[in-house]
Each structure stands twice: as C-alpha cells, then as structure tokens.
Amino acid sequence: MLNIDLTGRRAFVAGVADDGGFGFAIAKALAEAGASVVVGTWPPALNIFLNLLERGKMDDSRRLRDGSLLTFEKIYPLDAVFDTYDQLPEDLRSTKRYKEVGDCSIDGVAQRLVADFGDRPLDIVVHSLANGPEVKKPLLETSRNGYLAAISASAYSLVSMVARFGPLMRAGGAFSSLTYMASERVIAGYGGGMSSAKAALESDTRLLAFEAGRKWGVRVNTVSAGPFASRAASAIGIIEKMVDYVGRNAPLTAHLTADEVGAATAFLCSPLASAITGTTLYVDKGFHTMGMAVELNGP
C-alpha cells in the first residue's frame, strides 16, 4: 500500500487559531501522516486558543484515527504582517496581548524554532494566512491602505516566510499555502483587494519555487481550495451563498470539507510529490473547470 509517510518530519503551520478552518485540518492531516506539528497563532487569538485546548473543548476534533489526540510540539505567537520585531509599532507592542508574547514577527519565530529545535528544524511549512480588512468592499471602493493590507497579510507574508524559513529546511523540504480561484475569475463580493492578493500569492508561488528551489532545494506549491464556511471565512459576508453556489454547479456536488484540503496539502508536502513545485493544485470539487453555470442564479 502506498501511504503518505511523514514520520520523523517536523511541520510548521502558520495560521491556526481554532479547530474550524483549513489550517487546523492541515495540521491534523500532517500529524496523521506521522509528522510532529508546530503552529503559529495570531497574538490576539492566542490565549483563547490555548484555553480551548487546555479545557478540552477541541478534544473531539483533535482525535486521530488511532484514538490519540493531536498535540502541538510548540505554539508560537505569530503576526506575519511583521518581518522583524522592530517593525511592530510601539503602540501595538505595548498592548497586553503583544507585550506578553515578545517577538512575534516572522523572524522572531524563525529564531525561536532554531533555539528550540536546532539549526535546521523544519521539513514542512504551511502558510494558512489571509486577511483583508475591507474584504466586503467592492474593489472600486477599496482604499489604498486596505488594498495594501490585504497584499501584505495574504501574499507578501509567504515571501517573507520562505526567505526566513528556507534556510531552516532540511533536504526535501516543502512549502505550501492556500489560495482561491478569485485570483483568476471574478467572484463578486470577494473584495477589498483580496482577489489581487490571491493572484499575487499564486504568481509568487511560481517564482519562489524557482528561487528557493535553486537556493535551498525546497518545493513551493499552493492549494486553491473551494469555498468553505469556516469562522474566518465568515468575514467575507457571502460565504454561505458561495458554498451553496459551488454545490449546485461543480462537477462533484458534495460540499468541500476541511479534511479534503488537509489531505491534499499533506500529499503536496510529502515525498510522494517530490517532483511537484510551482503548482496551484485545485481542491474545489472541480468547480474551476466550469465555463458556464448549471444553475444561473448566483450568489
């Protein structure tokens, strides 16, 4: 039997703050395949996440196939909008949630990983990060600051992570991120510059695959997941309509699950995908293949 075997490998999953999204599902899939998992969590969500874990509120979703619970080797505070600690504004640094966690920049997490696990501690890095403060606004009404914020949090953060985590990767290392087909098709209501951010993420994936592949021998791919009604996706405002529309018009009509995205990402990060890099892998029930809706009443 051909299995995904990640035994002895360590994965860092950026963007896990609850058990309801793709980041958690990917972390769980990697653990099911035998990897040890470290996660990065946005500082304002960190204490809530830790409390849910400690109180057993996520035990059911953490249950692995062998009956054990998914555990994290480390949970680091991470705000991927900042490359280094000196970029954090003083007024943010002094707030309670940030003052307690110290250096939560991408570089800060890289340094913590080396301090905790040695010079080359990683085999897998997953970028499950996106934020568009004006996502509900049409592009024509999006401010420059809102647009650039979406690009910074959702796309440039991958560039920064590859630059800083690439040197920490062991032989055969792999990066993966999450994108959405709004990068190439019009999804009315997915605004605030987020479609542009996803387009940038996919373009960067190709160039990073070349540059990081030549420099460190690592692979860089992205998964284009279909719409999924996670807590984070609720910020879009029309996510339920998006899910329903895809269910009525995709070749496969069953709604996408987070576990399906987790399994596909685990494959991309495994030795089974050793020749795949610079690729956008669609995990959307085939919706990206459609050129005309089956049912024309859209979201």
Tens digit of each residue's pLDDT (9 = 90 or more) over 256-269: 999 999 999 999 99
Q: Which residue, chain included where needed, has tokens 């920049």?
A: 105
Give how many domains the chain has, as a whole number. 1
Residue 296 within any structural domain of the chain: no
Query: Is residue 1 over pLDDT 90?
Result: no
- 57 domain-assigned: yes
Predicted local distance difference test score (pLDDT) of residue 295: 72
The span from the CA of 113 to the CA of 40, in Å, is 11
295 in a domain, yes or no? no
Average pLDDT over residues 54-74: 96
In a domain, 5, yes or no: no
Residue 114 belongs to domain spanning: 10-286
For the stretch 17-26, pLDDT in tens is: 999 999 999 9
Q: What is the pTM of this model?
A: 0.95
Catalytic member of 98, 147, 190, 245: 190
Dihedral (CA of 257, 162, 199, 276) sign:
negative
Determine, yes or no, domain membership for 271. Answer: yes
**Which CATH number does the domain housing residue 156 bear?**
3.40.50.720
Is 292 part of a structural domain of the chain? Answer: no
Distance from the first to the final alpha carbon of the chain: 43
Reading the block at residue 194, the tokens are 């987020």
In a domain? residue 2: no
d(CA 201, CA 80): 14
Residue 76: which of 128, 169, 12, 21 has the closest Cα? 12
Q: Report d(CA 194, CA 131) in Å as an integer.
A: 8
Radius of gyration of the chain (CA): 19
Q: Is 190 a catalytic residue?
A: yes
Query: Which residues are 122's β-sheet partners?
Result: 169
Read off the pLDDT of residues 139-189 as tens digits, 9 standing for 90 and up.
999 999 999 999 999 999 999 999 999 999 999 999 999 999 999 999 998
Q: Are the C-beta atoms of residues 138 and 197 closer than 8 Å to each other? A: no
User: Is 4 within a domain?
Assistant: no
* CA atoms of 10 and 15, how far apart (whole Å): 16
* Catalytic annotation present for 282: no
So what's the pLDDT on residue 54?
95
